[in-house]
Amino acid sequence: MVGVGLVRLAQWLQTKPASADPWDAETDLKLEEAEARPLCVRCLCPYEETDWFCPQCGRATSPTTNWMPYLDELSMGDVLRHGTGGRIPVKPLTVIGYVVLALTQYFIFAPIYWWQLWQNVRRWRHDRLTADADLPPPANQTEQ
C-alpha cells in the first residue's frame, strides 16, 4: 500500500507543471554582469564571492564555511554571540536550541552563557511589550 502511494506521488511530481521563473529577463542580465556582487542576508552589505565572512557584520557567507576546520568554530561563535546580543525570535524552540547548543559548545561555561541569553530574551520581551503599549488603540474601540 505504501509502495503504491510512493509510486503515485513520484508520478504526480513528474507530471506537475514547472512553476514560473520568478526572475524576468532584465534581472537575469543584471545578475550576470561582472560588477554584480552577492549581499549578506543579515546586513545586506555587498561582499566578494571569495569571502568566507561578511566584512560588515561577520556572518558566514559561504555555504562551505561551516564544514571547514577552524572556520566552523568562528561561524558557531557568531551564532552563539547573536543569541546573547542580537535580536532573536523569542520562541520556545529557538531558546531551547540556544541552550542545547551552548551546552555542546561551552560545557563548563554554559551556565554563564545561559545567564546572558536569559538577559537578552528578557530585554527583547520588555522592548516588545513596551512597543505594544506605545501603539494607539484600534480605531473600532470607543473610549468610555
pTM of the complete model beyond 0.75: no
**What's the pLDDT tens digit per position in 22-40?**
777 887 788 788 888 888 8
**What's the pLDDT score for residue 139?**
62
Ramachandran region, residue 8 (left: φ > 0; alpha: ψ -120 to 50; beta: rest): alpha
On whether the CB atoms of residues 60 and 80 are closer than 8 A, the answer is no
Q: Which residues of 33-62 are buried (b: 16+ CB within 10 A; e: fewer)?
A: eeeeeeebebeeeebeeebebbeebbbbbb
**CB 125: neighbour CB atoms within 10 A?**
11
Mean pLDDT of the chain: 80
Please tell me the predicted confidence (pLDDT) of residue 144.
47
Q: What pLDDT sits at residue 41?
A: 82
What pLDDT shows up at residue 136?
67
Mean pLDDT of successive 10-residue segments in the chain (144 residues)? 85 76 78 83 85 84 78 81 81 88 86 90 80 65 50
